[in-house]
């Protein structure tokens, strides 16, 4: 948490944009979903993703219709790049990556998976710097390093259940 505060802190105080609030809410929802998914038995990851996709598409389409205007025109004007982005997001990210993630959640303890979830923001930052030349400074490096250190501490913390899971996998 200290790492996140270092990255978001400004000299005038802590100010979170609407986008950052959405990111925080998304992280909370993802964590809650992982905990809930761990407690559900007999749900296959692909079936789960199908339901998530159906509910999400319904809610987001309705929200877009009610809250935005000109989106259909903008989408048809964009053409192939939009189609490629939607297909990639739907098939590779939602169906592929999330299904694998929920399969891992079903099989392993959350402590073992926590470091994997750090790969998304790290890849996002790295690709943002590389592709769109986003600003990266020492504050972001220190904050990101502290966040990774926190996840490492959680992952390396020895718990009896973790030891049993690792031993079971080694057999």
**Cβ pair 11, 17 in contact under 8 A:** no
* Residue 31: per-residue pLDDT: 79
Residues 125 and 69 in one domain: no
pLDDT in tens, 131-149: 988 888 888 888 878 877 8
Range of the domain at 95: 42-105
Residues 115 and 170 in one domain: yes
- Please determine, for residue 58, whether its predicted confidence score (pLDDT) is greater than 90: yes
Distance between CA atoms of 76 and 158, rounded to whole angstroms?
A: 53
pTM score > 0.95 for this model? Answer: no
Counting the structural domains of the chain, the total is 2
């Amino acid at each position: 948490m200290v790492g996140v505060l270092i990255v978001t802190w400004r000299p005038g105080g802590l100010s979170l944009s609407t986008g950052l609030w959405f990111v925080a809410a998304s992280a909370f929802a993802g964590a809650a979903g992982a905990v809930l998914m761990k407690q559900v038995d007999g749900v296959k990851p692909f079936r789960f993703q199908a339901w998530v996709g159906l509910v999400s598409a319904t809610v987001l389409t309705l929200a877009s219709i009610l809250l935005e205007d000109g989106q259909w025109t903008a989408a048809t004007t964009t053409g192939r790049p939009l189609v490629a982005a939607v297909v990639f997001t739907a098939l590779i990210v939602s169906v592929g990556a999330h299904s694998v993630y929920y399969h891992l959640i079903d099989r392993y303890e959350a402590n073992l998976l926590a470091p994997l979830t750090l790969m998304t923001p790290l890849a996002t930052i790295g690709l943002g710097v590389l592709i769109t030349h986003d600003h990266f400074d020492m504050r972001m490096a220190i904050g990101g390093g502290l966040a990774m250190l926190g996840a490492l501490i959680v992952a390396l913390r020895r718990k009896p259940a973790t030891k049993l899971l690792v031993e079971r996998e080694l057999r």
